[in-house]
Structure 1
C-alpha cells in the first residue's frame, strides 16, 4: 500500500532540490517570412529524482521544451540552468559535454546503429563517459541477458527500445529524457518500457522526463505538465502516482 506520509516527504525533498530551472524561456523559428513561436514564455523547475510527464498534442511545444532541456536546442530568450550552470552561456564544447555526461536520451524510434549488436550499441554510449555502469549489468537489468549479441534487425520493437533505454542508462545520467518512448510499441510492451523507466528512477535516482501525447501515462508521474499552443497550460502534482501496471489506455 502507498504510504501518503512518505510520498509527501519525498515531494518536499524534491522541491527543495531543483536540478534544472527554466526562466522565461522562449523559442522562435523563422521560416522565410513566417515566424513560428514554438515555445512561448515558459518558467519551470525540474526536480532531482522526480518523474515528470509532459503532455500535449502535436505542435503544443512539448518536444521543443524537451530539446531545450537536453541542450539540443537553445532558447531564443530566457535562461536555462542545469545544476546552477547557465546553458545559454555555454559554448559548443560545453554543450557537447553536458549532453554526453549529464543526459540520457530515449527516442520513439530507438535510433540504434543497425550494424552493431545490442551490447556494442550500449558499449558505444559507455565509452563516452567516465565511470559508466557495467554494460552487461545494464542489459541484464532490462532483461536482455540472452540477446546481447543480437543485431537490431533480429530484435522486436520492445527489445530494441530496451536496448535504447540501456544505452541511455549506462551513462548513469542525472537527467533521462524520453520522447514518446512507447509511441511505436503495442500496449503491453509499452507498459513494460514505462516500468523500466520507473525502475531507473527508483534505483538510480535519475530524474526522468517523458514527453507524450498519451494522457494516461501522466498517472505514473510525480508531476504532470499539460502544454497547449507553445505554453504550459497546467502543472499538476500526483499525490499517489500509479505503477505502470495499473495504467490503462
Structure 2
C-alpha cells in the first residue's frame, strides 16, 4: 500500500493588492501518494501554479497546513524551507531556465553540487537520451533537448518529488510526447512521485490521479486506474 507523501489541509492563499484581496487558493485539502503521477488541471488563473508553489516550498500559504510525510512545511523557517526545496524537490518549468554559458553537463553538475548524495550527472544525461550532447550549450540544443536537460538537472538531485509546471507548453506534439514518455519512465524506473500542472486536458490521461481546479478551488479529484501511454496522447 502506498504511503501518503503530501497532505494538504485547508490551504488558503490571499494576496493583498491595495484595498483588494485576491483569493488565489480557497480551502484546498488533498492527499498525494508516493510513486504516483498526479496531473493538476485547470485554465489560467485557476490557482494550479500557486498550489504547485506551495507544495514546492517557494511560497507559504496564508492559512492551512502542508505535510511532507510527517513534516509540517508551514512550520519551517526560511532556512529549513530552502533545505526542503534543495533536498526533496526537483523543479521543471515550461521555460527551461538553463544557464546559457554552461554546457548541458555543467548545468546538471551545478544542481548535483547542491545535495549530498546526487546521482551521476553523466548517467542522468544518458537516461534522458543526451549523452552525445553533453558538451553542447543550450543555444546549440533544440527546445525538446533543452527540456530534457532541465529534467536531468532536476533529477540529478534524486528528489522524492518532481514538480513540473507546463513541461510541454513550449513544445510541439511529437516533442511533447517524448517529454511525457520520459517523465513516465522516470516514475516507473526510479519511483519518483511526479506532479504535472497543465491546462492541457489530454495530458491528464497519463496520470494515476487527476485534480481539476477552477477559481482557486478543487472542483474534482479523479482516480485513473488505466493511465494512457504518453505516446498515444494527442492534442
TM-score w.r.t. length of structure 1: 0.94
Structure 2 residue 229 is matched with structure 1 residue 243? yes
Post-superposition offset of 1:36: 0.5
Post-superposition offset of 1:131: 1.0
Alignment of 1:107-122 (within 5 A): 107-122=93-108
Counterpart for residue 203 of structure 1: 189
Instruction: Output the CA distance in 1 between the equivalents of 2:142 and 2:191.
Output: 28
Structure 2 residue 229 is matched with structure 1 residue 229? no
Instruction: Output the CA distance in 1 between the equivalents of 2:186 and 2:14.
Output: 34
Post-superposition offset of 1:77: 0.3
Alignment of 1:132-151 (within 5 A): 132-151=118-137
What runs of 5+ residues in structure 2 fail to find an aligned partner? none
Post-superposition offset of 1:130: 1.0
Instruction: Output the CA distance in 2 between the equivalents of 1:215 and 1:246.
Output: 14
Counterpart for residue 130 of structure 1: 116
Counterpart for residue 6 of structure 2: 20
Instruction: Output the CA distance in 2 between the equivalents of 1:33 and 1:123.
Output: 46
Instruction: Output the CA distance in 2 between the equivalents of 1:96 and 1:147.
Output: 31
Instruction: Output the CA distance in 1 between the equivalents of 2:31 and 2:84.
Output: 18
The total of aligned residue pairs comes to: 235
Deviations 1:179-230 (A, max 9, x none): 0000000000000000111111111111000000000101000000000100
Instruction: Output the CA distance in 1 between the equivalents of 2:217 and 2:159.
Output: 27
Deviations 1:47-90 (A, max 9, x none): 10010000000000000000000000110000011111111110
Structure 2 residue 169 is matched with structure 1 residue 183? yes
**Which contiguous aligned blocks of 4+ residues in structure 1 show a shift greater than 6 angstroms?**
none
Instruction: Output the CA distance in 1 between the equivalents of 2:203 and 2:221.
Output: 15
SS at match of 1:197: helix
Instruction: Output the CA distance in 2 between the equivalents of 1:68 and 1:47.
Output: 17
Match of 1:155 among 133, 138, 141: 141
Match of 2:57 among 34, 53, 71: 71
Post-superposition offset of 1:46: 1.1
Deviations 1:7-31 (A, max 9, x none): xxxxxx23xx100110000000001
Match of 1:174 among 150, 160, 166: 160
